[in-house]
Amino acid sequence: MTIKTVKDAINDALVQSFEEDKNVILMGEDIAGGKGREQYQGTQDAWGGPFGVTQGLYTKFGGERVRDTTIAEAGFFGAAIGAAMTGLRPIVELMYVDFAGVCFDQMMNQAAKVRYMFGGKQKVPMVVRTVVGAGFRAGSEHSQTLYSLYTHIPGLKVVAPYDAYDAKGLLLSSIKDDDPVIFMEHKRLYMTSCEVPDDLKPIPLGKGRIRREGSDVTIIAIQRMNLFAEEAANELEKINISCEIVDPRTYSPLDEELIFQSVKKTGKVIVVDESNPKCSLASEISSLISEKCFSDLKAAVIKITAPHTPVPFSPPMEDFYIPSTKKIIDAVKKLKDV
């Protein structure tokens, strides 16, 4: 057992995938950090992206497979699709998910649809690694989560790991997967750590995880919200309220059965999602529960989300924007009294 940060676990999964399959390549802005400048030979990948996640890959695997791109997401996303169709397994890095807009056509209309609309002859085994999340004082254009934007599109898969264990196991699976996968890394989780076995097997997409067993209330927590759910559950345990925490981990496909089982057990549900509320994962999960588990529910599902605003910059406002441990505790107490 080794203690790993999310950042290192992702780097490990990349290295392992590169070693296992020569068809794996990586493309993105600054992933090496300005490949090709002769005076920096040997230290060309010192930067490894703004969060240092891809550090070392250029030196290990060379510029043919680890490609710095221009700031041209439509160009290199499109290239990843063509490369994937013809035999490579490209991983592309979208530096912040907020940049989705400049290459959304490639994901929505090409990556997601070529298999379906051209008669099932092609596959697009590519992974988009991207950075999501508020709490970095990064302002409105570098802080969104946008989970539901991609989850909405048939043909795409969406993965958002919380801890280092899941980050490694799910990235290994995503790279082996034959469909296009959006792999979302939360910038506030990169430096969090947990035990990760060196020989961790890939974790199948579409399997959620019960992070904490409990009997009174189910908290369905999306990515970083697991942190607050855990804090809330610890506090509530002191007053004899038992919370079950469900981490779906992947949003397309979604482990609906795992969610329904927990709802059947507790009959009381809170969904915590850092995204904006409208047409969000929170609203989708809540709708599925009322459709499939209506008779098991003892109260209406409570959604805790960000408000319907862009992510604000100033700390007091941003802290207000992000769902909090306190909000979860209050909601659980409210449900407990039902």
Partner 1 sequence: MIEKEKINWIYKKIFTIRFFEERIKQIAKEKTVPGYLHTCIGSEAICVGVMAALNQDDWISSTYRNHGHAIAKGCELNEITSEIYGRKTGICKGRGGSMHISDFSKGMLGSFGIVAAGPAVVLGAALQEKINKSNKTCVSFFGDGAIHNGAFHEAAGLAKLWNIPMIFVCENNGYAEATATDWHLNTKELSDITKAYDMLSYIGDGNNVFEVYDITKKAISEAKQKNTPIFLEFKNYRFSGQYEGDTQLYQPQEEIDKARQNDPIKLAKENSSKYDLNKNDLEKIINEAKEEVDKAFDFADTQPWPQPEDALEEVYVNYPVEIKT
Q: Choose which of 50, 52, 56, 75 interacts with partner 1 (CB under 8 A).
A: 75
63 within 8 A of 112, measured Cβ to Cβ: no
Judged by CB under 8 A, which of 157, 211, 212, 249 binds partner 1?
A: 157
| 189 forms part of the interface with partner 1 (CB under 8 A) | no
Asked whether 157 and 255 are in contact (CB, 8 A), the reply is: no
In the set 5, 16, 44, 110, which binds partner 1 (CB under 8 A)?
Answer: 110
Q: Which of residues 264-283 bind partner 1 (CB under 8 A)?
A: none
Options 9-17, 53-61, 215-223, 253-261: segment touching partner 1 (CB under 8 A): 253-261
Q: Which of 94, 114, 182, 289 binds partner 1 (CB under 8 A)?
A: 114
CA distance to 53, 107, 168, 187, per residue, from 190 (Å): 9, 25, 12, 6
Place of tokens 């992070």: 211
* Beta carbon nearer to partner 1, 119 or 316: 119
Handedness of CA 249, 250, 251, 254 (dihedral sign): negative
How far is it, in rounded angstroms, from Cα 252 to Cα 155? 9
Residue 176 in the binding site for partner 1 (CB under 8 A): no
> Looking at beta carbons only, is 19 or 198 nearer to partner 1?
19
- Measured in residues, the chain has a length of 338
Residues 283-322 that bind partner 1 (CB under 8 A): none
**How many other C-beta atoms can be found within 10 angstroms of the C-beta atom of residue 337?**
7
User: Which listed range, 80-88, 162-170, 210-218, 280-288, lies at the site for partner 1 (CB under 8 A)?
Assistant: 80-88
Measured distance CA(50)–CA(41) in Å, rounded: 20
CA distance 275 to 297: 24
Using the minimum distance from each CB to partner 1, give the nearer residue, 7 or 115. 115
* 52 binds partner 1 per the rule CB under 8 A: no
Nearest to 23 by CA among 86, 71, 67: 86
Which lies closer to partner 1 via its Cβ, residue 123 or residue 137?
Answer: 123
Question: Of residues 19-48, which lie at the interface with partner 1 (CB under 8 A)?
Answer: 25
Q: Is 97 exposed, middle or buried (0-12, 13-18, 19+ CB in 10 A)?
A: buried
Shortest Å distance, C-beta 327 to partner 1: 30
Please identify, among the stretches 9-17, 68-76, 218-226, 297-305, the one whose residues bind partner 1 according to the rule CB under 8 A. Answer: 68-76
Q: Single out the residue of 61, 76, 183, 228 in contact with partner 1 (rule: CB under 8 A).
A: 76
∠ at Cα 316 (310, 335), nearest 5°?
A: 80
Stretch that binds partner 1, among 73-81, 93-101, 132-140, 279-287 (CB under 8 A): 73-81
CA distances from 179 to 75, 90, 122, 184 (A): 20, 12, 10, 16
Cα–Cα distance measured from residue 35 to residue 121, given in angstroms and rounded to the nearest whole number = 36
Active site residues: 142
Residue with the two structure tokens 């700390």: 315
Q: Is 98 in the site for partner 1 (CB under 8 A)?
A: no
Buried b (16+ CB within 10 A) or exposed e, 261-289: bbbeebbbbbbbbbbbeeebbbbbbbebb
Smallest distance from the beta carbon of 82 to partner 1, in angstroms? 3
Q: Considering beta carbons, is residue 6 or 91 the nearer one to partner 1?
A: 91
Q: Tell the smallest beta-carbon distance from residue 117 to partner 1 (Å).
A: 5
Output the smallest distance, CB 114 to partner 1, in A: 5
> Which among 49-57, 106-114, 222-230, 274-282 is the span making contact with partner 1, rule CB under 8 A?
106-114
- Binding residues for partner 1, per CB under 8 A? 25, 64-65, 67, 69-70, 72-88, 90, 102, 105-106, 109-110, 114-123, 154-155, 157, 177-179, 204-206, 253-254, 256
